[in-house]
Amino acid sequence: MKTTKPKIEKLIAELCPDGVEFLELGKLLDYEQPTKYIVKSTDYDGAYKTPVLTAGQSFILGYTNESDGIYTANKESPVIIFDDFTTSFHWVDFDFKVKSSAMKILRPKQDMDMDFRFVYFAMKCIQYIPQDHARHWISKYSKFKIPIPPLAIQEEIVKILDSFTELEAELEAELEARKKQYEYYRDEMLSFGDLPVRGTQTGDVEFKTLGEVGELIRGNGLQKKDFIETGIGCIHYGQIYTHYGTFADKTKSFVSSELAKKLKKAQKGDVLIAGVSENIEDVCKPLAWLGDEICISGDMFAFRHKQNTKFITYLLQTTDFQKYKERYAQGAKVTRVKVSRILEYKIPLPPLSEQERIVSILDKFDALVNGGDSGSESGMTGSLPAELKARRQQYEYYRGKLLTFEELKK
């Protein structure tokens, strides 16, 4: 930044000392409805060639072998896919199909003297949160104005911001590699020899079903609309995979004491389990609860037992349990695993002292690659997610500074 910022200041002083023109996005970009690019089958496979995209957070949902209705994009002809309901968007420079029609495919207008990548970065600076479930591009978002400095300045800003993006991508790749390393090490530690027939005993390790180890207590009644600023702590099933990590002792949400009397409770030491999700990965996601008694919602369970809570939680994160879920998960729009199947899953049970030793090791790995307790900012200190978060904050700060211009007075 120290070597490039003076160049930008020099360019601004030379090319636009009195400010720059601000234009509406709708005057800069054309849009296309994605109807003819919608995937017909959701039978995705990593071996297939064409990615299926959503403009939401997930981005790449999977890969399809369908050969018709593919949108052709590349480095020379990229597009922006824009979620018409959430206003989330992504830069795409490869061929793709889409999951639904709830988006716009954005391209630069041919007669505009602009860097399309610059427009993408400028859109990142728009602070807008939709308040209703409606399509937003035509009615609202396309009317937002962004600065359009001379092309030389646009290109210099893009060069700087792309370098930040590359550094962020390198850190993300390192984090992904560490996660895979951790998952392998965790699976190895918790396999206990990977016995051919589970249910037998070897040494001090016995395999038992979850039903033999404890009980599942189903939550009830709690809805997101019941949340208040302060009160009795509570967890809604969806928060298990959107807010919390491996363990927590504080809740993000609260309910009134009056409602709390009617709701099922989780106690310190319970493993909270999400009973439903939109995908197999998140269904049955576990959370070790280490705090005081709290209320829990329907579509989730509190698994009560006398083992080490984190040890049980780590077991329910393993690849073995993931494969088990894949065998028994049911549902089209939402995914569930029957309670009976959850309770039939067999886990190794070494002595509590050995469980504690294993947990102490896995906690260190978890803190490094997942930030420990994601419900607590302190849990991220010194972790790769914390470093990535700091890098993103730095990037957003410089992006905002670089894209701040005085508007040219007419």
**In the chain, domain spans:** 1-19+150-177+354-410, 21-148, 193-349
- 391 in Cβ contact with 400 (< 8 Å): no
The distance in angstroms from the start CA to the end CA of the chain is: 32
Q: What is the pLDDT of residue 5?
A: 53
Task: Let me know if the fold of 21-148 is the same as that of 193-349.
Answer: yes
Class of 193-349 in CATH: alpha beta
Paired tokens of 32: 């296309």
R_g of the chain computed on alpha carbons = 25
Q: What is the pLDDT of residue 130?
A: 85
Give the 3-state secondary structure of the chain: CCCCHHHHHHHHHHHCCCCEEEEEHHHHEEEECCHHHECCCCCCCCCCCEEEECCCCCCEEEEECCCCCCECCCCCCCEEEEECCCCCEEEECCCEEECCCCEEEEEECCCCCCCHHHHHHHHHCCCCCCCCCCCCCCCCHHHCEEEECCHHHHHHHHHHHHHHHHHHHHHHHHHHHHHHHHHHHHHHHCCCCCCCCECEEECCEEEEEHHHHEEEEECCCCCHHHCECCCEEEECHHHHHHCCCCEECCCCEEECHHHHCCCCEECCCCEEEECEECCCCCCCCEEEECCCCEEECCCEEEEEECCCHHHHHHHCCCHHHHHHHHHHCECCCCEECCHHHHHHCEEEECCHHHHHHHHHHHHHHHHHHHCCCCCCHHHHCCCHHHHHHHHHHHHHHHHHHHCCCCECCC
pLDDT tens digits, the chain, 410 residues: what are they? 444 556 888 888 888 888 899 999 999 999 999 999 999 988 899 899 999 999 988 899 999 999 999 999 999 999 999 999 999 999 999 999 999 999 999 999 988 889 999 999 999 999 998 888 789 999 999 999 999 999 999 999 999 999 988 888 888 888 888 889 999 999 999 988 654 444 444 557 899 999 999 999 999 999 999 999 999 999 999 999 989 999 999 999 999 999 999 999 999 999 999 999 988 889 999 999 999 999 999 999 999 999 999 999 999 999 999 999 999 999 877 899 999 999 999 999 999 999 999 999 999 988 888 775 544 433 444 577 787 788 888 888 888 888 888 888 87
Taking only the tens place, the pLDDT of each residue in 30-59 is 999 999 999 998 889 989 999 999 998 889
Q: What is the pLDDT of residue 379?
A: 40
Read off φ and ψ for residue 407, nearest 5 degrees: -80, 135
> Measured between alpha carbons, how far is residue 104 from residues 29, 71, 83, 237, 288 in Å?
11, 13, 7, 31, 41
- 289 in Cβ contact with 248 (< 8 Å): yes
What is the torsional sign of CA 174, 176, 182, 184?
negative
Fold entry, domain 21-148:
Adenine-n6-DNA-methyltransferase TaqI; Chain A, domain 2 (3.90.220)
Q: What is the pLDDT of residue 374?
A: 43
**Bridging pattern class, strands 271-274 and 253-255:** unpaired
